[in-house]
Amino acid sequence: MDCIFCKIANKEIPSAIVYEDEDVIAFNDLNPEAPVHILVIPKKHIASLNDASEEDQQLLGKIMLTIQKIASEQGIAEDGYRVVTNCGEQGGQTVMHLHFHLLGGREMLWPAG
Ligand code: 5GP
Ligand code: ZN
Q: What average pLDDT does the segment 29-35 reach?
A: 98
> pLDDT band for position 1 (50/70/90)?
confident
pLDDT of residue 113: 83
- Does 61 score more than 90 pLDDT? yes
Amino acid at 85: T
- In this predicted model, what pLDDT tens digit does every residue of 66-78 receive, in sequence order? 999 999 999 999 9
CA-nearest residue, atom 18 of ligand 1: 30
H/E run at residue 101: strand 100-104
Q: How much is the pLDDT for 70?
A: 98
Residues ≥6 apart with Cβ < 8 Å to 41: 5, 8, 9, 24, 25, 26, 63, 97, 98, 99, 100
Which of 39, 83, 96 for a ligand 1 pocket mutation test, highest count of atoms within 8 Å of Cβ?
A: 39
pTM: 0.98
* C-alpha span between 78 and 88 (Å, rounded): 31
User: Could you tell me the distance, in angstroms and rounded to a whole number, from the CA of residue 54 to the centre of ligand 1?
Assistant: 26
